[in-house]
Amino acid sequence: MSILTKYSEAFMNKDEAAMNDILHDDYRFTMHASGNVLSKQDVISWAMSDDINREKVRIIYENDDIGIEHSFVTFNDGNTQAVMAVFTFKDGKILSLETGATNMPK
């Protein structure tokens, strides 16, 4: 099973142990839309909340070093974004994630 498939399943199932296992200890998530950078624990806590609903997740490309994914993300406040995500991998885990997001009309 691919790294991104494991990540998506852990995220969807709110599986904290799996999230902890798939994210590298040095993990960083850079959200270019806001400029925020989140740590591994920040992302796990956010993923375990009910704030994020990912739909139509598509893996565009993945190899041992990098993965590219597109999805539509809806937040509790009703906002939806089309999100392009670029992941880097290290030691079979996700080391970093950078996203670009486009707001979708309500």
Angle at 16 between CA 45 and CA 25, to 5 degrees: 75
| Rounded-to-integer distance, Cα 58 and Cα 41, Å | 25
Domain count within the chain: 1
pTM: 0.91
pLDDT at site 31: 83
Q: Which two tokens stand for residue 25?
A: 């200890």
CATH of the domain at 21: 3.10.450.50
Domain region containing 91: 3-104
Q: Give the mean pLDDT per block of 10 residues along the chain (106 residues).
A: 95 96 97 87 93 94 98 92 96 96 89
